[in-house]
């Protein structure tokens, strides 16, 4: 076929390790045609990134590769590094996950783009290449491109960096663009813009695209064909409609079912595991007292946290202030789950830390079980530590790697002065409660998967029978199928133990299935607070609407309809003529 850009045939990649060989990719075959967008979907460790690095010829030297990769009829494995270099950036280009580390911090952004142009077209003068880089930045929607081109990467925001990366990727009008998790590091509203941009860039150039992602929502709006990978092997390949509406393999169905859906209001309609668990919780909470009659667990009024911005090393001069939390008020009743939603930098984590400090805030009051934290004695504060506990975002970092699980779980109980027998009893109970077995107690955190570690984190938070658990993005570092399991467990714990949750998240679709009430936060202020259903059905604040619109929907038809309303085609007008 003449319009086939990339053919991967029976690709296998393996790495030697201390004890055995790790097979990263096994017998993978696919092809991408001109103008086609292929999405490779899989969870972490499924080999999706390794397969794309193999296409670029960027695998580490100790990898052993077999199979065949043809790019425009040339066998990639027969080319030496010099020949590959002429292809990279010109015929194939790549957009990386982390735009901060993908751009060199010591050169201006415009210069980095013009460098890509000049490497492959040495005949172009520097001045012309610079002009071209300004055009490219303009075309990807960077405002004031001629000034921005002279700025350094640290002066760009995350979304702008990723736009600059896309500008760099399309600079030489490549035949093939490989995008490796291009939006994972970005906020949801920025993610929507970047995916739209990537799609228009691809349509503009007619380039073949390989999108590597774990997010089914992103896939639905972008891809023509989908390839699902699991544990280094291909599970299923097909058209996007086929995969989403008529998946053949069980794993694909599980993957789709695990994605929390924002577009379905009735949880039972969603096949989502978390959704159905939530439905059960809803039944339970109906039997509870009405909200007004339940005791208040946490009450925050007019909380403020302002960080001064200082300058000068010896004599510190205050030159401004960062209003991280700017007068927010909310309360949580017993057995309730309040979700605090906002994008990065909105002050969610600062709010959470202020509550966890259990000290007098800069301004405003924090009351826990009716007690003002500013009036606590040392002993009161120590006791209160058992009432309010926290679960962190990163399950890898939240558990001390040098301590066995039993010691990790005993730590809070030791502080509260539990007896030895009681601690041992509780360790067993806690492990079974979070879906692990008592035999796990003697193991170390490294022997657990991400989801299991997060369960241990929850067990530690439960150790001293808390009234309130603060969850700081507890599932954002997990794969979707694992995330669904952890959410189900959390919903279950809430209904069984009656603890309250303060659930901090940036992901609206997760929040919909677990929370009773939602507080939307932007630049340190609460823009909207209300019942989950009300906020989703009838968001009153413009920012809430924007957030809701940006959430990717794992349904190709809906996602496409959605996209056509938000696409920014103007940004690309005039592209191509400029050459």
Q: Which residues bind other proteins (CB under 8 A)?
A: 16-20, 62, 356, 381-382, 385, 389-390, 392-394, 397-403, 411-412, 415-416, 446, 460
Report the relative pairing of strands 468-472 and 500-505 from DSSP bridges: parallel
Min. distance of Cβ 464 from other proteins in angstroms? 8
The token pair that represents 35 in the structure block: 């103008």
What's the rounded Cα separation, in Å, for the pair 50 and 351? Answer: 39
Reading phi first (left if > 0) and then psi (alpha if -120 to 50, else beta), residue 93 is in: beta
The token pair that represents 279 in the structure block: 């439905």
Beta carbon nearer to other proteins, 145 or 466: 466
Beta carbon nearer to other proteins, 373 or 393: 393
Beta carbon nearer to other proteins, 389 or 515: 389
Beta carbon nearer to other proteins, 39 or 427: 427
Contact 336, 516 (CB under 8 A): yes
SS3 of 73, please? coil
In sequence order, what are the residues at sequence separation of 6 or more whose Cβ sits closer than 8 angstroms to the Cβ of residue 1?
Answer: 33
Beta carbon nearer to other proteins, 351 or 389: 389
Min. distance of Cβ 23 from other proteins in angstroms? 10
The token pair that represents 455 in the structure block: 């369960």
248-285 b/e (C-beta count within 10 Å ≥ 16 → b): eeebbebbbbbbbbbbbeebeebebbbbbbbbebeeeb
In sequence order, what are the residues at sequence separation of 6 or more whose Cβ sits closer than 8 angstroms to the Cβ of residue 417?
Answer: none
Min. distance of Cβ 385 from other proteins in angstroms? 4
Beta carbon nearer to other proteins, 79 or 403: 403
What's the rounded Cα separation, in Å, for the pair 111 and 171? Answer: 12
Which run of H or of E encompasses 369?
A: none
Contact 461, 472 (CB under 8 A): no
Beta carbon nearer to other proteins, 157 or 375: 375
Pick from 77, 85, 56: which is nearest to 177 by CA? 56
- Rounded to the nearest angstrom, the gap between the alpha carbon of residue 480 and the centroid of all alpha carbons in its chain is 10
Min. distance of Cβ 233 from other proteins in angstroms? 16
Beta carbon nearer to other proteins, 477 or 571: 477
What's the rounded Cα separation, in Å, for the pair 249 and 257? Answer: 13
Min. distance of Cβ 559 from other proteins in angstroms? 35
Tally Cβ neighbours within 10 Å of residue 525. Answer: 16
Which run of H or of E encompasses 281?
A: helix 273-287
Min. distance of Cβ 404 from other proteins in angstroms? 12
162, with CB counted inside 10 A (0-12, 13-18, 19+), is: buried
Min. distance of Cβ 399 from other proteins in angstroms? 6
In sequence order, what are the residues at sequence separation of 6 or more whose Cβ sits closer than 8 angstroms to the Cβ of residue 491?
Answer: 274, 277, 278, 280, 281, 513, 514
Beta carbon nearer to other proteins, 122 or 401: 401
Min. distance of Cβ 251 from other proteins in angstroms? 21
Beta carbon nearer to other proteins, 127 or 379: 379
Min. distance of Cβ 318 from other proteins in angstroms? 15
Beta carbon nearer to other proteins, 434 or 508: 434
Min. distance of Cβ 392 from other proteins in angstroms? 4
Min. distance of Cβ 333 from other proteins in angstroms? 23
Contact 225, 210 (CB under 8 A): no
Beta carbon nearer to other proteins, 400 or 537: 400
Min. distance of Cβ 308 from other proteins in angstroms? 13
Which run of H or of E encompasses 208?
A: strand 208-213
SS3 of 282, please? helix
The token pair that represents 554 in the structure block: 């794992």
């Amino acid at each position: 076929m003449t319009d086939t850009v990339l053919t991967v045939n029976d690709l296998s990649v393996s790495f030697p390790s201390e004890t055995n060989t790790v097979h990263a990719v096994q017998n993978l075959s696919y092809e991408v045609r001109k103008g086609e967008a292929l999405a490779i979907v899989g969870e972490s460790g499924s080999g999706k990134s390794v397969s794309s690095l193999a296409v670029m010829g960027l695998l580490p030297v100790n990898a052993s590769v077999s199979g065949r990769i043809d790019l425009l009829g040339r066998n990639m494995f027969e080319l030496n590094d010099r020949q590959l270099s002429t292809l990279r950036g010109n015929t194939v280009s790549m957009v990386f996950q982390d735009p901060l580390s993908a751009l060199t911090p010591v050169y201006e952004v415009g210069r980095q783009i013009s460098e890509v142009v000049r490497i492959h077209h040495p005949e172009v003068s520097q001045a012309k290449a610079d002009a071209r880089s300004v055009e490219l930045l303009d075309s990807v929607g960077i405002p004031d491109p001629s000034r921005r081109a002279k700025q350094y990467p640290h002066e760009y925001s995350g979304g702008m960096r990723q736009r600059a990366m896309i500008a760099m990727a399309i600079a030489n009008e490549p035949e093939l663009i490989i995008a490796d998790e291009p939006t994972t590091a970005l906020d949801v509203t920025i993610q929507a813009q970047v995916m739209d941009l990537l799609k228009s860039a691809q349509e503009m150039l007619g380039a073949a695209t390989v999108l590597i992602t774990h997010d089914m929502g992103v896939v639905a709006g972008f891809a023509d064909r989908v390839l699902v990978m699991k544990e280094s092997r291909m599970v299923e390949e097909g058209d996007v409609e086929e995969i989403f509406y008529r998946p053949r393999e069980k794993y694909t169905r599980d993957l789709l079912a695990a994605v929390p859906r924002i577009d379905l209001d009735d949880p039972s309609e969603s096949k989502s595991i978390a959704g159905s668990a939530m439905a059960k919780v809803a039944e339970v909470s109906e039997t509870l007292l009405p909200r007004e009659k339940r005791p208040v667990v946490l009450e925050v009024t007019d909380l403020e946290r302002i960080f001064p911005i200082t300058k000068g090393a010896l004599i510190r001069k205050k030159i401004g202030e960062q209003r991280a939390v700017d007068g927010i008020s909310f309360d949580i009743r017993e057995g309730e789950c309040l979700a605090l939603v906002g994008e990065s930098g909105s002050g969610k984590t600062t709010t959470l830390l202020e509550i966890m400090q259990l000290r007098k805030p800069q301004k405003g009051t924090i009351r826990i079980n009716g007690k003002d934290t500013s009036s606590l004695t040392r002993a009161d504060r120590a006791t209160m530590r058992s009432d309010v506990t926290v679960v962190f975002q990163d399950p890898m970092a939240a558990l001390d790697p040098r301590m066995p699980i039993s010691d990790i779980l005993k730590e809070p109980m030791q502080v509260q002065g539990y007896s030895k027998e009681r601690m041992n009893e509780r360790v067993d109970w806690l492990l079974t409660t979070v879906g692990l077995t008592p035999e796990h107690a003697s193991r170390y955190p490294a022997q657990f998967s991400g989801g299991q570690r997060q369960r241990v984190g929850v067990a530690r938070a439960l150790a001293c029978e808390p009234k309130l658990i603060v969850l700081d993005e507890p599932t954002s570092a997990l794969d979707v199928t694992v995330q669904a399991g952890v959410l189900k467990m959390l919903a279950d714990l809430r209904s069984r133990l009656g603890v309250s949750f303060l659930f901090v998240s940036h992901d609206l679709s997760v929040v919909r299935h677990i929370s009773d009430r939602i507080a939307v936060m932007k630049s340190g202020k609460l823009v909207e607070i209300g019942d989950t259903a009300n906020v989703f059905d009838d968001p009153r604040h413009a920012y809430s609407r924007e957030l809701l619109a940006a959430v990717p929907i794992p349904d190709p038809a809906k996602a496409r309809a959605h996209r056509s309303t938000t696409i920014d085609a103007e940004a690309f007008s005039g592209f191509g003529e400029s050459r």
